Amino acid sequence: ALRNGTVIDHIPSEKLFQVITLLGLENVPNQVTFGYNLDSKKLGKKAIIKVSDKYLSQDEVNKIAVLAPNAKINIIKEYDVAEKMQLQLPDEYIGLLKCKNPKCITNHQPVPTKFSTAYENSELKLRCHYCEKNTSSDNLKIITEN
């Protein structure tokens, strides 16, 4: 049980480590617990992350939405769910995602990527501002700082 902190539940198993990297959880001093390939009636298999004494900003929650739009985020205080945060896709993502187009200027010049978000046939599509290529959520690559 988590006394205080954040629980991110219903993450697709294949996205778990991307979410961990996206949030920089490998570098936090807090206790981090995760479950991988857990049985789920909704997803078949799911992942869960529990972070002690850390509360996510709305910006961090929005970033999770691009990888796991159906994830559930619960804020825990004194072992009880104090708040449930809603995932929302912002209108655009800047400097977070890599463009899949090898000819895009963002892959050759020091230009921050910029994507607008939209849904096409109920599937998330991200459109590159520079080369105008669409990327589906299955092909997203997160830019990680080294």
What is the structure's pLDDT at 144?
A: 64
CA-CA distance, 78 to 97, in Å (whole number)? 36
Q: What is the pLDDT of residues 97-117, one digit of tens each?
A: 889 899 999 999 999 999 998
Burial of 108 (0-12, 13-18, 19+ CB in 10 A): exposed
- In this prediction, residue 68 carries a pLDDT of 87
| 50 contacts 7 by C-beta, under 8 angstroms | yes
Would you write out the chain's pLDDT as a tens digit for each of its 146 residues? 899 999 999 999 999 998 998 899 999 999 999 999 999 888 789 999 999 999 998 888 888 988 888 899 999 999 999 999 878 788 898 988 889 899 999 999 999 999 998 877 777 889 999 999 988 877 777 776 54
